[in-house]
A and B are shown apart, each in its own frame.
Chain A
Amino acid sequence: MINFWKEYRPQLVVLAIALIYVFATAPLFRGSAALYSVLLGFATIGIVALGLSVTLIAGEFDLSVGSMASVAAVLAVRLSGAGVWAAIGVTVVTCALIGALQGFLIARLRISSFVLTVATFALFAGLSWVIAGGSPVSVKDFAATSFLYERWGSVLAPDIVVALVLFAAIGLFLHWARAGREIYAIGGARPEAISKGVSVTRALTIAFGTSAGCAALAGTMASLKVGSAAPNDYGNLLLSGVAAALVGGIGIRGGAGTVGNVILGVAILSVAASGLSSAGAQGYTIQLVTGGLLLVMVLVDFAELRPTARTGRVRPAKAT
C-alpha cells in the first residue's frame, strides 16, 4: 500500500482533488450513474491512451492515433452491412497491421517516429474523407448494432467490458511477457538493449501495432454505438489520449510507467470531464481543463526529475 502511494503520489493527489471538486460542485454526480459515466471514458479515451502509452514506453510517439480512430470509425460503419462483428474485426486488424507497418518502418529506416506519424496523421485524416466519400456515413441496420447499448448491471456495458479486458491483457503483456519487457528495454536504454540482442524492429512493430489497433477499436466501438461517423470525427482523441497517458505519469522519455499510470490518468480526466458536464459545463471548459492538467502534470514531472538530470541546459533533441 505504501509502495502504491509512493509510486503514484502526484496522480493520486490530483485524482482526490478532482473527486472532491466534482462532488462539491455537481450534485447529480453520485453513485453508480457517476461510476458508469467515468467508466465510459475508459472505452474511448482510455483505450486510445492505453495504446499510446505502449509507444511512449518504447520511447516513441504516435501522433496518428486520432486520424487512425477516424479512419476506423468510418470504415467500420461502411462495413457494418456485412455483420457487426466482421466489421469490427476487419477494421481493427487492418488498422493494427497498418500501425505495425509504421513501427517496422520507424525501426528499419531509423526515422523519428514523430516525423513519420505526423505524415500519417495527415494521410489518415485525408483517407477518412475518401473512405466516407466526403460526407457522414451511417449504419443501415440499427438493430444489428443496438446490442452496444445494453447494460449489464448498473455500471457495465459491452464497450466498458472490452476496455477493462484490454487494460488487463496489455497490463499482463507488458509486465510478464518477454516481448513486453523488451519494449521497456528499448524505451529505457536502447543502446544497451540492442547490445544485449533485443530487436528494436520487433519492439516497435508490436508497440505501433498495439497503438493503432487500440485507436481503431475505440473509434469502431464509438461510431457503431452512435450508428454514424463523419470524416475525421475522432481527431481530438489524440489530445485526450496524450493527456491521459502523461497526466497518469507515463514518462515521455520512455522505459517508465505501467498500466496503473494509464488507469489513473484516464480516471482523472474522466472524472473531471463527466463531473464538469454533469454540472452543466460546456465542451470547451473540459478542453481547457484537459490542456491545463496536461501542462501542470508535465511541469510536475519535470520538477521531480533528479537535479543531475537537469543541468540548466535544454535536453538535446531526441529525433533523427
Chain B
Amino acid sequence: MSLHTDVPAATRSVAVGGATPADRIRRSMRREPVLWSLPVLLLAAVVIGAVASSDFLTGANASAILRASAITGTAAVGMSLVTLSGSFVSMSLQQTAMLSAVAFAYSMNAGSSASVSLTVAVAACVLVCLLEGGFVALGLNSIVTTLAVGTMVFGAVSWVMADRLGSITFASSAFGWLTSRVFGIPVQVIVFAIVTAVLTIGVRRTVFGRELVLVGANRDAAHLSGINIKRVVVLSFVGLGLTTAIAGIMAAAVLQQATPTMLPTLTTDVITAVLVGGIAIGGGNGSPIQAAFGAVFISTVSNVMVLAGLSEGQRQAVEGALLLCAVIVLHLVQRRGKR
C-alpha cells in the first residue's frame, strides 16, 4: 500500500547504518500499527465482499464504491486538519456543507454564471468555518461552538428558504461535468483524489503542515518554538471550510437540488472516516490520507452490506459498531505505543 511511503520522519531517522529496508519496514509497522491495520481491514472487506457476492469484484462496483466515498471523503480530508491540530472535530459539517449547496443552488437559479455561483458557495462556507475557527482559537470548546453555529446555520437557511417550500431544485447543464467521467473515472473521484493529495503533501511536506501537527501534538512546545497557535487553528478551520464547500457543491450537483436537511448522516460519516482512519482524536498524529482511506473503507463495508441485503438501519448500526470497535482498539494500541 502506498501508505508505507508515508513513514513519519521520526521513524525514518531511526534507521541507522546496517538496517535493511525490510528491517525498517518491520520497525515502522511495529511503531505505527495504524499504518497497516486499515489497509488490512480494507483487504478483508474486499475478500468478504468477493466471497459474498459475484457482483462485488466488478469495475462498475469499484467505481460505485469510490463515487459513494467521494463526498464524505473530501469533507473528511478537510476535517483531518482540524483533528490533527488538536481541535477535535466540527459538529456542524452537515450544516456547512448544506449551506454551500444551498448558496450554490440559489446563485445558479438566480442566473449567475458558474464561476460566480462557485465563489458564492465557497465563500459562504469558508466564512462560517472562519467564524468557528476564530471562536475556537480564542479558547472556546470546539464541540460546543460548532454545535451552536451549526444550529444557527440550519435555522437561518431554513428561514430564508421557508417561502420556497424548503427546497431548491435547479437543472443546469453547466455542472453536468461534475457527475460525468474522465477516462472512465467519475469526476467526483478525481476531485476527491486531488484534494487528498494536496492536503496530504501539504501536511507532511510543508512548514505550515508540520506546524499544524506540532500544535496538535504539544501546544506548549509549539508555543515555545514561536508558532502562532491561533493562526494555525483558524487556518485549519479554513481548510475544513474549503473541502466542505467542495463536498456540498458535489452533493448539490448529484442531487440536482438543495434542502436544509440534505446529507443527514454526513457529520457522523465524516467523524467515522477520520477515526476509523486512525487519526488520533487528541491531534498530532496522523495524515489526511488516512481519513481518505477511512472514507473508502466505510463505503466498501456499506457496499458489501447492500449486496448482502441489509436495510439502511442495519447498515447504520453495523457502521456504528465498527466505529466503536475502531476507537477502542486504536486507543489501546496508541496507549501501548506511548509506553
Interface of A is mostly: helix
Contact residue among A112, A115, A295 (Cβ-Cβ distance under 8 Å from B145): A295
Interface residues of A in 99-153 (CB under 8 A from B): 105, 109-112, 114-116, 118-130, 132, 134
The verdict on A239 contacting chain B, using a C-beta distance below 8 Å, is: yes
| Chain B residues in 8 Å Cβ range of A282 | 158-159, 162
Q: Is the CB of A298 within 8 A of B145?
A: yes
Contacts of A316 in B (CB 8 A): 86, 219-220
Give chain A interface residues in 296-320, CB to chain B under 8 Å: 298-299, 302, 310, 313-317, 319-320
Partner of B313, one of A119, A132, A285, A317: A132
A129 touching B281 in the complex, CB below 8 Å, given contacts A114-B88, A291-B149, A314-B219: no
Tell me whether A298 and B154 are in contact (CB under 8 A).
no
- Is B328 a contact partner of A231 (Cβ separation < 8 A)? no
Q: Is the pair A314, B282 in contact by a Cβ cutoff of 8 Å?
A: no
Contact of B151 among A61, A116, A290 (CB under 8 A): A290
Inter-subunit contact B145/A126 (CB<8 Å): no
Give the distance in Å from the alpha carbon of A112 to the alpha carbon of B219 in the complex.
18
Contacts of A63 in B (CB 8 A): 143
CB–CB B143/A114 < 8 A: yes
Known contacts A239-B147, A317-B86; is-contact A122 B155 (Cβ 8 Å) = no
For chain A, the count of residues having a C-beta within 8 Å of the partner chain is 56
Q: With A288-B155, A315-B139, A316-B219 in contact, do A120 and B313 touch (Cβ < 8 Å)?
A: no
* Structural contact, A122 and B272, CB atoms closer than 8 A: yes
Number of interface residues of B (CB under 8 A): 62
Of all chain A residues, which has the CB nearest B154?
A: A287
- Contacting pair B314 A130 (CB below 8 A): yes
Give the chain B neighbours of A176 by CB distance below 8 A: none
Q: Complex formed: what's the CA distance from A295 to B128 in Å?
A: 14
State whether A122 touches B88 (Cβ < 8 A): no
With a cutoff of 8 Å between Cβ atoms, the chain B residues found around residue A314 in the complex are 136-139, 219, 229-230, 233
Give the contacts of B283-339 with A (CB-CB under 8 A).
283, 311-321, 323-324, 326-328, 331-332, 334-335
Q: How far is the CB of B102 from chain A (nearest CB, A)?
A: 13
Cβ of A95 < 8 Å from any Cβ of B?
Answer: no
Q: What is A's interface to B at a CB cutoff of 8 Å?
A: 61, 63, 105, 109-112, 114-116, 118-130, 132, 134, 231, 238-239, 242-243, 246, 252, 282-292, 294-295, 298-299, 302, 310, 313-317, 319-320
User: A288-B152, A289-B155, A291-B148 given. 7 additional CB < 8 A pairs?
Assistant: A119-B327, A126-B315, A127-B320, A246-B144, A287-B151, A295-B149, A320-B282
